[in-house]
Structure 1
Amino acid sequence: MTRVGGISWTGQTSQAPPLIRPVGETIFHTPPPPPDPGYIRREEVEEMIRAVNQRPNLEETYQGPFPQHILQAHYPRGYKTITLSTFSGEDVESAMAHLIKFRVQCGQHQNDDILKCKIFATSLSGTAFTWYTRLQPGSITDWPVMEKLFRETFRTIEPEVDLASLTQMAQQPTESAVAYLQRFQI
């Protein structure tokens, strides 16, 4: 028989059973065993689930510049993804040339303004794409507004060509005829 703190019991251990304690004594809990490296505690699983549920979904947080009726519109029946040439805003291509090319590449859908709104971002890269992503949600009401804002933002200042300036142009001695014509966009 073993006696500890006024409690007697029989057994082979010299420690008191964990559920028996004398009245008025503080309960000391035995620390849990060290975790098995392959074991995940319930609290850890719950914390991981909370973290995943609190993480913002990019599709939910980025809304794009168009109103909800455009963003939620379905693609036309039979629509197949179009491979579009891209505009970065850093090249010599003008915004107007890109818009014309974009319309042509839209093919049979070139008159579908909602579709053009939905796919226009895929025709942008670099500075132009960054500009697009910074437009305020819902700030572009339709395709004509997007087209106008794009032209105004990325317009290139074309020099006016008049008869006097044409008569003063000269081809450089080492310049090919093609390069000469491209330089003056004739």
Structure 2
Amino acid sequence: MRAEDIEKLVNDRRRDLRTGGNFEDALRKEMDQANSTPFTAEIEQAAPPKRFSKPSFTHFKGDSDPESHLKYFKSVMILHKTDDALMCKVFVMTLRGAAQDWFHTLPSGSISSFKELAYVFTKEYTSYRMIKKNPDHLFNLRKKSDESLRDYIKRFKAEKANIVGCDDRIASSAFKKGLPAEHDLYRELTITPSQLWQRSSRPRNAMRSGMMIESPQRSLLSRKISRLNGQAKEAMRRSHPQEDTPAGENYTKFSIPIHQILAQVKDKPWVKRPPPLKGDPDKRDTRKYCAFHGTNGHTTNNCFAWKTHLEELVREGHCTEFIAKQAIQ
């Protein structure tokens, strides 16, 4: 307890004593409650493993999705998930503010496993749970009349990133549906390969039927069709980039390693969390840890998602204090 809390407690009990209460008994009872713990004696007395080093966590303050915090915590503690007592004790260390106060309101000795702790935790903060969206949600997105194509693509990608397991074919259909029918890109995406072939074969068929079309016109039409086809493919590629796209080398030069930049800005509101990594977690390289994803498999300095997001932050005016002087010059 804090010193001011103890002083308040003493003053309150003295006042009770003056009104006829038993000051010593009341004070002893309050102190016993303050020193009690929601954990059972078995968990409370369990010793941590040798050489255990507590990872750094994003704290939960009682105003965000509890399930997301649980998944994040389990991914960081994946190497220690079999140690129930350790999971319980370390999880409590991730709580701050109102969430930490809530934990100490739990009945003494009521938590005997991490499963029980996770249950009461999600039940307490169930009102903050995020409603999981399915791929059909993307069909509700529409490009606004005053919105640029770049902003629409950015907004569409952000919504798609929040949907786990979204099929690219569904995303492509939803992306096209969100465009106005009169938009140039909508018409370009609507052109199927068979339609392109029909267009490209019309001049040849016209010549066979006796309709003389001059060569410059045929050449111009072929070039236009090729350009439309290329633009359509490029637009789809930009709107649905693959996660495993190899990282390029044209990144901004910084004065410190990018994992140190993440450590300093990770709690900023403009830093977005990446979607979970795909693949089997048990097959990842446990010797490498990425603080951006909060899991093993690769290092933070080699994280393509963090490199890309950091470039976006720099373009938006953030993290400029970390840019190397020679890069600015």
Fold shared by both chains (TM-score > 0.5): yes
Determine if contact 1:104/1:110 at 8 Å carries over to the other structure. Answer: no
Structure 1 outlier segments of 4+, above 4 Å: none
Separation in structure 1 between the aligned mates of residue 92 and residue 109 of structure 2, nearest angstrom: 15
Greater relative CO (CA pairs within 8 A, separation 6+): 1
1:168 aligns with 2:140: yes
Relative to structure 1, the CA distance from residue 166 to residue 104 in structure 2 (aligned partners, 3 Å threshold; closer, same or farther) is closer
Separation in structure 2 between the aligned mates of residue 112 and residue 78 of structure 1, nearest angstrom: 14
Separation in structure 2 between the aligned mates of residue 62 and residue 176 of structure 1, nearest angstrom: 55
TM-score norm. by structure 2 comes to 0.34
Which amino acid in structure 1 is aligned with residue 142 of structure 2?
A
Partner SS for 1:121: helix
Kindly, what percent of the aligned residue pairs are identical?
Answer: 23
Deviation at 1:162, TM superposition (A): 6.6
Separation in structure 1 between the aligned mates of residue 74 and residue 130 of structure 2, nearest angstrom: 22
Please, which runs of 5 or more residues in structure 2 have no aligned partner?
1-26, 164-329
1:177 corresponds in structure 2 to 153
Give the greater-gyration-radius structure (CA): 1
Deviation at 1:167, TM superposition (A): 2.4
Deviation at 1:73, TM superposition (A): 1.0
1:65 corresponds in structure 2 to 38
Partner SS for 1:130: helix
Deviation at 1:127, TM superposition (A): 2.4
1:137 corresponds in structure 2 to 108
TM-score norm. by structure 1 comes to 0.57
Which amino acid in structure 2 is aligned with residue 170 of structure 1?
R
Which amino acid in structure 2 is aligned with residue 66 of structure 1?
F
Instruction: Note the aligned Cα RMSD (angstroms).
Output: 3.0
2:66 corresponds in structure 1 to 95
Partner SS for 1:167: helix
Separation in structure 2 between the aligned mates of residue 168 and residue 79 of structure 1, nearest angstrom: 48
1:109 aligns with 2:80: yes
1:127 corresponds in structure 2 to 98
Separation in structure 2 between the aligned mates of residue 88 and residue 146 of structure 1, nearest angstrom: 16
Relative to structure 1, the CA distance from residue 89 to residue 139 in structure 2 (aligned partners, 3 Å threshold; closer, same or farther) is same
Relative to structure 1, the CA distance from residue 114 to residue 177 in structure 2 (aligned partners, 3 Å threshold; closer, same or farther) is same
Which amino acid in structure 2 is aligned with residue 146 of structure 1?
L
Determine if contact 2:141/2:156 at 8 Å carries over to the other structure. Answer: no
1:8 corresponds in structure 2 to none
Please, which runs of 5 or more residues in structure 1 have no aligned partner?
1-53
Determine if contact 1:66/1:137 at 8 Å carries over to the other structure. Answer: yes
Determine if contact 1:171/1:180 at 8 Å carries over to the other structure. Answer: no
Which amino acid in structure 2 is aligned with residue 150 of structure 1?
F
